[in-house]
Chain A
Amino acid sequence: MPDAPAISPLVLFLASVLTSNILLSNFLGTCSFISISKDWKSSFGLGLAVTLVIGLCAAICWAVLYLVVIPLGIEYLSFVVFIIVIAAVVQVLEMVIDRFSPALYLSLGIFLPLITVNCAVLGAVLFMQIRKYDFVQSVAFGFGSGAGWWLAIMLLAAIRKRIENNPVPAGLKGTGITLITIGFMAMAFIGFSGMIAVQ
C-alpha cells in the first residue's frame, strides 16, 4: 500500500474542484472541453459522464495498481493497464446505463465513447499514482476532479452563449475567443488558491 500524504478526503475533494481544478490549472480535457461547450445541454451531459467515469476509474485503477500491478512487478506496463481499465469502465458504464435508464442513455450515450480518450480521466489516474493517494483519497480526488471539470464546462458553456452575439475579430472567432475566455476563468480560479493547498 502507498504511504499516502496526510490530507483529509473532504479537503482533497474541495481542493480538486476549486484550487487545483483539473482543467483550469492542469489543462486536462481541454480538447473536448472546447468542442462540446458550444451547447449548454451537451455540456451538462458530458460533465456528468466525465464525473462518473473519473470517479469510477480512480477507484478501480487504484485497486488494480496496488493489488495486481505492483505485486506482479509490472509497473512499467501501468499506462497500458490504466488505458484498458478506462476503456472497460466506459464500455460497461455504457451498457449499464442503456439497460437501466434508456432516457439517461439517450442524453449521455453519445458522449461516453468520447471519454476513453479524454485526457482528464487518464490524467486524474496518473496524478493519483504519482501523489500516492490511498483508496478513499483517490475516490475523493477522482470525483472532485470530475466535478471540477463539470463546473468549468458549465460555466464556459454559459459564457460562450453570451459571446455568440458579440463582435469578435474574425481571426479569433470560435477556438480563439474560447481559449481567451478559459484563460480569464483560470485567472479567476487562481483566486481560490490561497484557500487550500494541495501539492
Chain B
Amino acid sequence: MKGKSAKILKDGLWANNPIFVQVLGICSTLAVTNNVRNTLIMAAGVTFATALGSLTLSAIKGLIPRKVRMIVQVLVLSFYVILVDIVLRAYAPAVSKQLGPYVGLIITNCILMGRAEAFAAANPPWPSFVDGLANGLGYGLVLLCIAVVREFLGFGSVLGIRLVGDWFTPWTIMIMAPSAFFLVALALWGAKSYNARAEARRKAASAAARPAPSGAAK
C-alpha cells in the first residue's frame, strides 16, 4: 500500500506531471504566475480541490449514473472551490481580489476533471486522494518555478522582498501575458529533452546488457 502511494505521488510530481506531460491546466498556470504569493495560494487551492474532489468522487462513483457523470463531477468540484473562495475572502481579502475570477476558474481547471475522469473513476478513495494530491503538488511546483522567474525579472523581488538594488531595470514584459507562454514553453522543452535523454540512456543500457547473456548461452 505504502509503495503504491509513493509511486502515485512520484507519477504526479514528475513522470506524469499535469503540466509537462498531460498539458492540462495551462490556463490558470499562466494567469497567476507573475507573483509568487498569489501562485502559492492558487496552487494550494488547486491541490485542496483536486485531492478532496478525487476522494469524494471516488467514494461515490458507484452512485453516479453514467449519463450525468460529467455534471456531477463538476458540481462536486465546484463545492470544494466555493470553500476555497470563502476561506480566501475571509482570511486574505487582498489576494482574493487580485486573483479575481481565477479562484472560481479552478472549477474548470482541466486537472481537476482530468484526474476525476482518468483516475478517481476507476480507483478506490485513498489512492485517488493521493493521486489528486500529487497532481496538485506537481502542478504547484511548476507554477512556482515559473512564478519565481517572472516575479524576479519583472519586479526584482521574490515574495514581495526586493532582492536587487535600484540599478536593476525590471523587465516589464515578464509581468505581462506573453512571457508566461514563453516560460512554460521553455520549461516544457527542458522537461521533454531531459526525459528523452533519460529514456535514450535507459535504452542504451538495456541494449548493452542484453547481448551478454545470449552470448554466454552460445
A80 partner, pick from B82, B105, B176, B192, beta carbons under 8 A? B82
Q: Which parts of B55-99 form the interface with A (CB within 8 Å)?
A: 70-71, 74-75, 78-79, 81-82, 85-86
Residue A192, interface by CB 8 Å: no
Nearest CB of chain A from residue B28's CB, rounded to whole Å? 7
Q: How far is the CA of A142 from the CA of B69 in the complex (A)?
A: 28
Contact A118 B108 (CB under 8 A): yes
Cβ contact within 8 Å between A76 and B86: yes
- Tell me whether A179 and B185 are in contact (CB under 8 A): yes
**Using a CB-CB cutoff of 8 Å, which residues 37-70 of chain A contact chain B?**
none
Which residues in A have their C-beta under 8 angstroms from that of B192?
Answer: 170-172, 176
Instruction: Flag if B78 contacts A179 (CB, 8 Å).
Output: no
B181–A79 touching, CB < 8 Å = no
Contact segment of B9-17, B18-26, B131-139 = B18-26
CB pair A27 B177 closer than 8 Å: yes
The residue that A77 contacts in the complex, of B24, B27, B82, with Cβ under 8 A, is B82
Q: Is A187 an interface residue (CB 8 A)?
A: yes
A183 contacts B182, C-beta separation under 8 Å? yes
Residues on the A chain within 8 Å of B181, using CB? 179-180, 182-183, 186
- Could you tell me if B188 and A119 are in contact, using CB atoms closer than 8 angstroms? no
Q: Tell me which residues across on chain A come within 8 A of B180, comparing CB atoms.
A: 27, 183
How long is the Cα–Cα vector from A113 to B70 in the complex, in angstroms?
10
Q: Are B82 and A180 in contact (CB under 8 A)?
A: no
Partner of B74, one of A83, A172, A184: A83
Which residues from B are CB-within-8-Å of A169? 189
Chain A residue nearest to B111 (CB atoms) is A31
- Chain A residue with Cβ nearest B82: A79
1/0 per residue A161-199: CB within 8 Å of B? 000000001111001110110111011001000000000
Known: A79-B104, A169-B189, A187-B178. A31 touches B79 (CB 8 A): no
Enumerate chain A residues within 8 angstroms of B110, measured Cβ to Cβ: 31, 117
For B86, B177, B185, which residue has the most chain A Cβ atoms within 10 angstroms?
A: B177
Contacts of B113 in A (CB 8 A): 117
Q: Which of A9-17, A100-108, A120-128, A133-141 contacts B (4 or more CB under 8 A)?
A: A120-128
Chain B positions within 8 Å of A29 at CB level: 27
Given contacts A31-B26, A186-B178, contact A80 B78 (CB under 8 A): yes
Residue on A nearest B20 in the bound complex, by CB: A175
A25-B24 Cα distance, complex, nearest whole Å: 19
Contact A122 B107 (CB under 8 A): yes
Given A24-B177, A123-B27, A179-B185, 19 further pairs, Cβ under 8 A:
A30-B27, A76-B82, A76-B86, A80-B75, A117-B74, A118-B108, A121-B108, A126-B101, A130-B100, A171-B190, A171-B196, A172-B188, A172-B189, A176-B189, A179-B182, A179-B188, A183-B180, A183-B182, A186-B177
